Structure 1
Amino acid sequence: MTEILIIDDEREVGNFLFHLLSSKGHNVTLAYSGRDFNRLLKDKRYEFAMIDVKLPDADGLTLLKQLKSQLPSCKAIVMTGYSTVKTAIEAIKNGANDYIEKPFDNIDELEALIDQLLENNHTAAQHEMHQKAQNLNFIVGKSAKMNHLLTLAYKIAKKNVNVLIEGETGTGKEVLAQYIHQTSQRATSPFIGINCGALSDSLLESELFGHEKGAFTGAIRDHKGIFERASKGTLFLDEIGEASLSIQVKLLRVLETGEYMRLGDELTRRTNTRILAASHMNLLEAVKEKRFREDLLYRLDVVKLTIPPLRERIEDIPLFLDHLCNKYQTTLSFSDEAISLMKQYDWPGNIRELVNIVKRAITLAEGETKVITPDYFPERLLLSTNDLVKKPKPNVEEKEFGNHIQSFEANLTRWKHQILSLWQNQHDVKLDDVLLMVKELETEIGKAFVQKTLQDTLGNRKEAAKRLNISQRKLRYLLNEKGQAPSK
């Protein structure tokens, strides 16, 4: 017997759920307010709860947070009206297993959802969630941010709501859009993507809405637009922020009414397309700058999913490397030195840049070696903006010791390749310039050893100088603190 708590101020709804769940043998308790909730939560340990978002004396999201705080294993469904779907999505972000819209139009669907949660099909859902991602080569990895993103995407995929995907260029926004489509109930219908920044206004309008023969010069036949071809399916509008204001107006009309017209036609057509939009820019900022319509953003941003950049999920780089080696059917592997260097790089081009670098390295190394070393990396990675020669590390007080030490191995690799590059490729190099570079590297290496010793001595400079067999004055010099009084 499952202990269930129903919280809804509409007594008809509460009574319906009470009889539905009681008839299945569950022990059901009804609550009509936040006050009831607080009292009842002290009495029992509930295993399942259904919470209305709007109560006369409480906010359903607040009650959900309180429930998950006191009973983390308690499963929960939030109940919401059509006008508060965005709030329901926030509930999922805060730990709700799902949400349902009131009034309950499909009782069978409601029953199936409750039964699925009560039968503890969590493991099956987790398997399906990750299997779908694997089938699409969507690498989730160990990153907590990515795993949370996948869970949220999986939960909202089955809901007929528009989704806005934000993230830097190259993070995999289209792959996430395909995942949402494949996990949705529209999976058997078309998924069509279009880059709004890659076409002129006239071409984009024609591609979106279609045109009639003779609508413009070159329109030699009727053309179905994406809204027509993807009806009942999913339309992915990539780089929506690049669409002109005139296109935005027409998109808004489709989102509001589901209606559109082909170019050169007066017939109003209807579409049931789900919209997934993506942008590398901050659309809220674009609204402030009058480059994007606020009403269109409101329509698109029912759910917002933000993909973290690669530099925030560095721990997943080895997984990407394994995946790409399998994809390109190579027996090559990457050396520890190469992986360490890749973990230090900033990856401005994100996963797209990683794929290109790996593909290049495999192509160059094939037939020459079994292990890919940094010798097969492009110069921009070896001499990135993180290079200590080009951009010296901050003083020890400005950054934690540990960050310096973690990057030291990769920096040594970059220094080596920089000097080798001068040795092998530049015939007019000046020896004085090379020696000056070596002198700068010598200083940076000395600083690194000082920082490591300071970490070991918990910041005790006197002890650090003693261990290194140098004076405190020399220690300050290596830390670029010339002229400062010695620390006691």
Structure 2
Amino acid sequence: MSRLLIVDDEQEVRNFFAYLLRNKPIHLTVASNAAEANRLIQVGTYDAALLDLKLPDGTGLDILRLLKKVHPTCRVVLMTGYSTVKSALEAIRLGADDYIEKPFSDIDELERLIDSLLVPQPLGGHDDRLRIAKEAGLVIGTSHAMNELVSLAWKIARKNVTVLIEGETGCGKEVLARFLHLASMRRDEPFIEVNCGALTETLLESELFGHEKGSFTGALSLKRGLFEVASRGTLFLDEIGDATPSIQVKLLRVLETKSFLRVGGEHTLRTDARIIAASHVNLPHAVATGTFREDLLYRLDVVKLSIPPLRERRADIPLLARHLLDQNDGKNFSFSADALTLMHAYDWPGNIRELANVVKRALALADGDTFVLTSEYLPQALFPVAETAATYSDRSPSLPTVSSPVPQLDRELDTWKHMILTAWNQDGTVSLPEVLTHVKELERIVGEAFVKKALRETLGNRKKASEQLNISVRTLRYLLHEK
């Protein structure tokens, strides 16, 4: 028989659970305060516990800490009011499995939740999380911060709460938003993204709320807005920090009332879209400087997820590079150890987006069906930090440091120099045709090296590369051994 602990200071709540679970094979233990709960935890064992967040002599968080210490395998759910959802999320970070809001609106859902705590269900396990992450294009990797983030995102994905995603440009905010959508109960409904900083105020207003026919010049027909289209689905508001004050006011109204008007409309429309917002701007700072509404931030910041920048998860770079190669039809390609060393040492100010561009560039320059992408295929921006690659060798001893950005050319020049000087110092007969053949071979090697360097600098644009080298495209193709 399963053992369940209920901790709540309201007698009505304790009676409710006793009645709800009366016919289930559950040994129910109840406590009305933190002191009583702490005593019961020390003398008994429990498979699961439902803890009220606010108690007269303590908090559910304190009981959670003790439970996880004494009974690490006990599964815990926090019971909370809407105003204390943030504390419930802190409980999830401390190891709670879930939280539910009081008063309980769906008794069937509550009963299913209790059953899932006592009899683990196949859905929601670690394998499901990895499967949905892969579907969303999210590489979790080995970083502790990233694993903790995804664990929290997984637990709140099924909650109908607004989520604010923070992170530097290019760190994968849209991918995390898609993961939240796919892991939610709304996965079969639309996931729609709009960049609030990429559109003018008038166009953004029309996109979000729609417009009536004839409401402005060019409005030739009725247009449904994204709040209408995404109703029952997820609406991802990217770069929310760039929204104008007027748009911020209208967004606040939707978040507060779940209703809106089309541009030029007279009838109120309702939406059930789940809102996920993202910003690379520090929104509390924007509030302090007067460029973002404090009341809108309060409505958006129900759950905050902060994505670590790529420089704080360097160990994941090989995994991310492999993922990006596969995404760009580069399944037969791989990066060499020297290339990965440079990538490991670089700070990636553009984060994963910059890494994606580096991968695309390397593939554009590569030849053949199966190819190892060496450091020669990386952009010049990665080389200034090559000298400091040894700094990271302690963390990644399998990656050797790079002594030269063009090791192949260095070797060829050394070999050629040795051969010429040997011939020059040789007494007697010298085969000049053979020496001149080696000179021509060096000409070919040097020409090819300069062409590849120019192609790296022009992102593979052969016309620009040929102009940069003052040669024709035909000559460039010849130096690359192309017909």
Range of TM-score over shorter length? 0.7 to 0.9
Residue in 2 that maps onto 1:110:
110
Residue in 2 that maps onto 1:142:
142
Distance 1:353 1:139 in 2: 15
Over 3 Å counting, the alpha-carbon distance change for 1:404 and 1:112 in structure 2 is: closer
Residue in 2 that maps onto 1:207:
207
Residue in 1 that maps onto 2:232:
232
1:54-203 to 2 correspondence within 5 Å? Answer: 54-121=54-121, 125-203=125-203
Distance 1:153 1:214 in 2: 43
Residue in 2 that maps onto 1:412:
403
Distance 1:184 1:349 in 2: 29
- Paired letter, 2:304: K
1:86-485 to 2 correspondence within 5 Å? Answer: 86-121=86-121, 125-330=125-330, 331-367=332-368, 370-383=371-384, 386=385, 388=387, 409-410=400-401, 412-414=403-405
Residue 328 of structure 1: how far off its partner (Å): 2.9
Residue 23 of structure 1: how far off its partner (Å): 2.9
Distance 1:212 1:238 in 2: 25
Are 1:338 and 1:374, in contact at CA under 8 Å, matched by a contact in 2?
yes
Over 3 Å counting, the alpha-carbon distance change for 1:184 and 1:369 in structure 2 is: closer
TM-score under structure 2 length normalisation? 0.80
Aligned residues: 415
2:21 is paired with a residue of what secondary structure? helix
Distance 2:32 2:409 in 1: 70
1:187 is paired with a residue of what secondary structure? coil
Give per-residue Cα distances to partners, 1:36-95, cap 9 Å, x unaligned.
112212211222111001111112222212222332211101111232222222221221
Are 2:341 and 2:402, in contact at CA under 8 Å, matched by a contact in 1?
no
Distance 1:33 1:233 in 2: 40
Residue 140 of structure 1: how far off its partner (Å): 1.0
Are 2:337 and 2:400, in contact at CA under 8 Å, matched by a contact in 1?
no
- Paired letter, 1:365: A
Over 3 Å counting, the alpha-carbon distance change for 1:2 and 1:407 in structure 2 is: closer
Are 1:382 and 1:417, in contact at CA under 8 Å, matched by a contact in 2?
no
- Paired letter, 2:35: R
* Farther-moved stretch of structure 1 (288-297 vs 314-323): 314-323
Distance 1:297 1:169 in 2: 20
Residue 145 of structure 1: how far off its partner (Å): 1.5
Are 2:212 and 2:263, in contact at CA under 8 Å, matched by a contact in 1?
yes
Distance 1:357 1:201 in 2: 34
Residue 203 of structure 1: how far off its partner (Å): 0.7
Are 2:161 and 2:302, in contact at CA under 8 Å, matched by a contact in 1?
yes
* Farther-moved stretch of structure 1 (363-372 vs 198-207): 363-372
Give per-residue Cα distances to partners, 1:364-415, cap 9 Å, x unaligned.
11229721100011111123xx355xxx89xxxxx99976997995363459
Distance 1:425 1:378 in 2: 14
Residue in 2 that maps onto 1:475:
none
Distance 2:409 2:22 in 1: 73
Distance 1:95 1:403 in 2: 32
Are 2:47 and 2:74, in contact at CA under 8 Å, matched by a contact in 1?
yes
1:6 is paired with a residue of what secondary structure? strand
1:21-40 to 2 correspondence within 5 Å? Answer: 21-40=21-40
Distance 1:118 1:413 in 2: 60
Are 2:338 and 2:402, in contact at CA under 8 Å, matched by a contact in 1?
no
Distance 2:27 2:395 in 1: 58
Distance 1:263 1:197 in 2: 20
Distance 2:360 2:62 in 1: 49
* Farther-moved stretch of structure 1 (331-340 vs 80-89): 80-89
1:291 is paired with a residue of what secondary structure? coil
- Paired letter, 1:186: R
Are 2:168 and 2:280, in contact at CA under 8 Å, matched by a contact in 1?
yes
Are 1:133 and 1:139, in contact at CA under 8 Å, matched by a contact in 2?
yes
Residue 136 of structure 1: how far off its partner (Å): 1.9
Residue in 2 that maps onto 1:460:
none
Residue 262 of structure 1: how far off its partner (Å): 1.0
Distance 2:25 2:2 in 1: 8
Residue in 2 that maps onto 1:438:
none
Residue 130 of structure 1: how far off its partner (Å): 1.2
Residue in 2 that maps onto 1:439:
none
Distance 1:271 1:227 in 2: 6
Unaligned runs of 5+ in 2: 412-445, 452-483
Are 1:344 and 1:407, in contact at CA under 8 Å, matched by a contact in 2?
no
* Farther-moved stretch of structure 1 (116-125 vs 239-248): 116-125
Computed over aligned residues only, the root mean square deviation of the Cα atoms, in angstroms, reads: 2.7
- Paired letter, 1:5: L
* Farther-moved stretch of structure 1 (275-284 vs 402-411): 402-411
Residue in 2 that maps onto 1:3:
3
Residue 324 of structure 1: how far off its partner (Å): 2.5
Over 3 Å counting, the alpha-carbon distance change for 1:400 and 1:362 in structure 2 is: closer
Over 3 Å counting, the alpha-carbon distance change for 1:273 and 1:311 in structure 2 is: same
Residue 416 of structure 1: how far off its partner (Å): 6.1
Distance 1:129 1:369 in 2: 32
Distance 1:171 1:401 in 2: 22
* Farther-moved stretch of structure 1 (46-55 vs 296-305): 46-55
Residue 192 of structure 1: how far off its partner (Å): 0.8
Give per-residue Cα distances to partners, 1:315-367, cap 9 Å, x unaligned.
11221222233233331221111111111111111111111111111121122
- Paired letter, 2:246: S
Unaligned runs of 5+ in 1: 394-398, 427-488
Residue 273 of structure 1: how far off its partner (Å): 1.1
Over 3 Å counting, the alpha-carbon distance change for 1:405 and 1:173 in structure 2 is: closer
Residue in 2 that maps onto 1:435:
none
Give per-residue Cα distances to partners, 1:121-160, cap 9 Å, x unaligned.
3785222111111122211112222221111111111110
Over 3 Å counting, the alpha-carbon distance change for 1:180 and 1:300 in structure 2 is: same
Distance 1:321 1:150 in 2: 20
Residue 177 of structure 1: how far off its partner (Å): 0.7
Are 2:6 and 2:49, in contact at CA under 8 Å, matched by a contact in 1?
yes
